[in-house]
């Protein structure tokens, strides 16, 4: 995905914050993310991207569920847990119950009491 200036950008960005100083250079313009290591835990996401309209903010989003495994979706979650829990409940993809059982992955309880998928067991 590219912005109006033909440079790539991340979908989630912030209007302000410490990422702003890494976003723009008065001499070079907006930072090119082509070779950015987005998996680095110290990476700071950009603040503001030149587009005609906003595409996705960092707002809280409600998640509603009914049926089997709906109890997994109560409380607050890190955004990356939601697709993993959906896949687990639907028994599809790399987070499927059968795939996790083969990897000896264990579930634990988070602060809201709902199951949360964690890393493979070291036991």
CB atoms within 10 A of CB 48: 16
Q: What is the pLDDT of residue 103?
A: 62
Phi, psi of 114 (to 5 degrees): -85, 155
Element of type H or E holding 89: helix 81-90
Q: Are 97 and 64 contacting, i.e. CB atoms less than 8 angstroms apart?
A: no
Q: What is the pLDDT of residue 119?
A: 46
Average pLDDT across the chain, whole number: 72
Name the pTM for this structure. 0.40
**48 and 97 in one domain?**
no
Question: Is 114 or 62 the better-scoring residue by pLDDT?
Answer: 62
Residue 20 has pLDDT above 80, yes or no: no
Q: Where among 58, 85, 106 does a domain terminate?
A: 58
Distance (Å, rounded) from C-alpha 114 to C-alpha 76? 10
Residue 65 maps to a domain: no
**1 and 54 in one domain?**
yes
**49 and 14 in one domain?**
yes
Average pLDDT of the segment spanning 52-74: 76
Q: What is the pLDDT of residue 53?
A: 60
Average pLDDT of the segment spanning 53-76: 77
Q: What is the pLDDT of residue 109?
A: 46
For the chain, what is the domain count?
A: 2
- Show the domain range for 111: 70-120
Average pLDDT of the segment spanning 94-102: 71
CA distances from 43 to 4, 18, 72, 105 (A): 23, 11, 30, 28
- 117 three-state secondary structure: strand
- Please, what's the b/e burial string for 3-22 (b: 16 or more CB within 10 A of its CB; e: otherwise)? eeeeeebeeebbeeeebeee
**Most confident among 18-27, 43-52, 91-100 (mean pLDDT):** 91-100
Residue 63 maps to a domain: no
Residue 41 maps to a domain: yes
Q: Where among 16, 38, 58 does a domain terminate?
A: 58
**50 and 13 in one domain?**
yes
């Amino acid at each position: 995905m590219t912005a109006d200036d033909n440079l790539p950008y991340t979908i989630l960005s912030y209007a302000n914050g410490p990422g702003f100083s890494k976003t723009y250079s008065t001499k070079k313009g907006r930072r090119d993310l082509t070779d950015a290591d987005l998996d680095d835990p110290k990476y700071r996401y950009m603040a503001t991207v030149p587009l005609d309209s906003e595409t996705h903010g960092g707002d809280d989003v409600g998640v509603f569920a009914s049926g089997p495994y709906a109890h997994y979706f109560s409380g607050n979650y890190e955004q990356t847990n939601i697709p993993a829990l959906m896949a687990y409940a639907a028994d599809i993809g790399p987070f499927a119950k059968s795939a996790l059982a083969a990897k000896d992955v264990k579930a634990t309880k988070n602060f809201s009491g709902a199951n949360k998928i964690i890393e493979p067991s070291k036991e």
